[in-house]
Copies of this chain bind each other. A is one copy, B any other.
Amino acid sequence: MIKKFWTMFLAVGMMCPLLRAEETAGPVENHPVKYVFLFIGDGMSLPQRMLCREYLRRLQRDDLRINRLPVNGMTTTRCSNRLITDSAAAGTAIACGGKTNYGVLGLDPAGKRLESVAEVAHRNGRKVGIVTSVSIDHATPAAFYAHNPSRGNYYDIGRDLIASGFEFFGGADFLQAKGKDGDLYDLAARGGYRVIRDKSAFVALKPGEAARTLVSCPFSYAIDGDDTNIALAEYTEKVIAMLDNPHGFFLMVEGGKIDWACHANDAATALREVFAFDAAVEVAYRFGQQHPDDTLIVVTGDHETGALTLGFAGTAYSSYPERLQRQRISYEKFSQQLKQLRQDGKLTWEAVKPLIEKNFGLKCDGSDDPLALTASEQERLRQALARSLAGKDKLQDRQAENRVLYGSYDPLCVTATHILANKAGLGWNSFSHTSLPVWTSAWGRQAGCFNGMNDNTDIGNRLKLLVTPLRP
């Protein structure tokens, strides 16, 4: 009967020139999907994705895979007690389908436990994988396995990770491995996890070798090109092979560093993090092409970070995102270079100028290079250097001003990334999150139910239904 309706529905679709098939090709049956992928770009909303699209366009390259998925919607993000959410409350909404307070993981505002899509999937006999480019106990991945009133209780969150029994975890090291019951890595091993701490062991890992795996390795920014890192795409490829089984799986992959780069207002670094995230989605998409009736891919963000805008007062109607190519290293690595200079007593404008030229492509030579710094831009950098040298200001009013100008970042570094962004036609307006809805995309079986306007809790609730077997 259901099949008949489906055929009918398709037939109606064919008759409608206005109707694009992918827009309604979705939830005709409330039927579980065997392979469910959820990709979360932390801090990734419309501006981050539109920036990538335009950057790639200028370079005459194809748009991101995530920007070419057929089903698209907006997702609202507010949490129970704030307009501007954080990754814990947003992660809980996406994972569990329930609103909670800022900073809370897997509990409702009254403290009642919420079940996540990963837990529902696992309870129903699926294998579960959780992967992130930040620490594995960070708020977004934790929302899928932990239940804690504070995202900062890292040790307890690590205990919840081990207790989950999920088949695969991958990410950067626990933020607090030591605690009252012993080292989390020891506890994981005792709990049946194969613990992997470097890339070569990861590469060597074969399906069937371990019932449960915990990969905990360093993870630096993609732009810094450290090939001892395991890329999100490499994780995705491996986890698919590890988890594939007749009962299906649920895999969550987080691009966690997109958020961090946006907090630091570093557009070039954020761009490369989105590319790395997109490469992971591409792996799932290729898998999906081989299992089109059994695969669902959902891509979303938890909130926007940085108040990024494609448009800036100084460039008005012009955009030059391709100028971001000129940046060579992340804000993090550049800040480390500045720190080293300070420690060596060598943090001077003359020492810093060549570093800025080399790492950001900005020119101090008064040339007609589009990235040549004006006199007032050089003055802004010199003032920022003075602030970097001065350390924390004692005047409360001045502190507030510094917070607006530099956030908690190195003043010189953030001024350099701001100037480069502005010259690319971009603006940053916060070092925190904003309430801009995020862009959700989907492909595959049941993808249609992520179309249009949804709340982040809708995403969680729909995913929970889609990993639940039909009731007889």
User: Hey, which bits of chain A sit against chain B, CB under 8 A?
Assistant: 2, 5, 8-9, 11-12, 15-19, 23-24, 26-30, 46-47, 50, 54, 71-74, 82-84, 86, 102, 304, 307, 309-314, 316-319, 374-376, 397-398, 400-401, 403-405, 407, 425, 427-437, 439, 446, 448-449, 451-453, 462, 465-466
Min CB gap A369→B, angstroms: 16
> In the complex, what's the smallest C-beta–C-beta distance from A67 to chain B, in angstroms?
9
Partner of A54, one of B29, B50, B83: B83
Please state if A314 and B400 are interface contacts (CB–CB under 8 Å): yes
Q: Are A102 and B317 in touch, CB under 8 angstroms?
A: yes
Q: Which of B19, B50, B397, B429 contacts A374 (CB 8 A)?
A: B397
Residues A313 and B404 in contact in the complex (CB < 8 Å), given A397-B374, A452-B451, A452-B452: yes
Give the chain B neighbours of A403 by CB distance below 8 A.
Answer: 313-314
B30 touches A432 (CB 8 A): no
Give bound CA distance, A427 to B432, whole Å: 12
Residues of B within 8 Å of A318, CB to CB, are 82, 84
A425 to B310, CA, bound (A): 20
Contact of A50 with B437 in the complex, beta carbons under 8 Å: yes
Asked if B74 and A46 make an inter-chain contact with CB atoms under 8 angstroms apart, the answer reads yes
Q: How far is the CB of A255 from chain B (nearest CB, A)?
A: 20
Assembled-state Cα–Cα distance A84/B398 (Å): 36
Contact assessment for A310 and B435 in the assembled complex, using a CB-CB cutoff below 8 Å: yes
- Asked if residues A311 and B435 are in contact (CB atoms below 8 Å), the reply is yes
Would you list the 6 A-B pairs with minimal beta carbon distance, nearest first? A311-B434, A72-B453, A427-B429, A307-B309, A18-B27, A310-B435
6 further contact pairs, Cβ within 8 A, besides A307-B427, A309-B429, A311-B433: A5-B12, A18-B446, A23-B24, A84-B425, A310-B435, A314-B400
Q: Are A24 and B309 in contact (CB under 8 A)?
A: no
Q: Beyond A12-B9, A19-B449, is A316–B401 a contact (Cβ under 8 Å)?
A: no
User: Which chain B residues border A446 with CB–CB below 8 Å?
Assistant: 18
Q: Which of A397, A430, A437, A448 has the most CB of B within 10 A?
A: A430
Whether the Cβ atoms of B436 and A309 lie closer than 8 Å is yes
Chain B residues whose CB sits within 8 angstroms of the CB of A466 once the complex forms: 18
**Distance in Å from the Cβ of A448 to the closest Cβ of chain B?**
7
Residues of B within 8 A of A404 (CB): 312-314
| Chain B residues closer than 8 Å to A448, beta-carbon distance | 19, 23-24
If A310-B84, A451-B451 touch, whether A465 touches B17 (CB-CB below 8 Å) is yes
Q: Which residue of B9, B375, B429, B435 contacts A9 across the interface (Cβ within 8 Å)?
A: B9
A312-B29 in contact (CB<8A): no
Q: How far is the CB of A149 from the nearest CB of chain B, in Å?
A: 18
> Which of B15, B23, B429 has a CB less than 8 Å from the CB of A429?
B429
CA distance A312 to B427 in the complex (A): 12
Return the contact of A18 from the options B71, B407, B462 (Cβ within 8 A). B462
A407 to B317, CA, bound (A): 13
Cβ-defined contact, A54 with B16, below 8 A: no
Q: How far is the CA of A27 from the CA of B17 in the complex (A)?
A: 9
Closest residue of chain B to A317, judged by CB? B84
CB distance from A46 to the nearest CB of B (A): 6
20 A-B contacts (beta carbon < 8 Å): A5-B8, A5-B11, A8-B12, A16-B30, A17-B465, A18-B446, A18-B462, A19-B26, A74-B74, A82-B318, A84-B318, A307-B429, A309-B309, A311-B434, A311-B435, A313-B407, A314-B403, A319-B435, A376-B398, A427-B430
Question: Hey, which chain B residues are within 8 Å of A72, CB to CB?
Answer: 73-74, 452-453
Which residues of B have CB within 8 Å of A8?
5, 8-9, 12
Residues from chain B with a CB closer than 8 A to the CB of A405 are 313
A398 to B304: give the CA distance in the assembly, Å: 33
Contact call A19/B12, Cβ cutoff below 8 A: no
What separation, in Å, do the CA atoms of A201 and B228 have in the docked complex? 77
Closest residue on chain B to residue A27 by CB atoms = B18
Docked CA distance A448–B13 (Å): 13
Q: Quick one: given A5-B12, A376-B398, are A317 and B19 in contact (CB under 8 Å)?
A: no
Decide if B16 touches A28 in the complex (CB within 8 Å).
yes
Q: Which residue of B lies closest to A401 (CB)?
A: B376
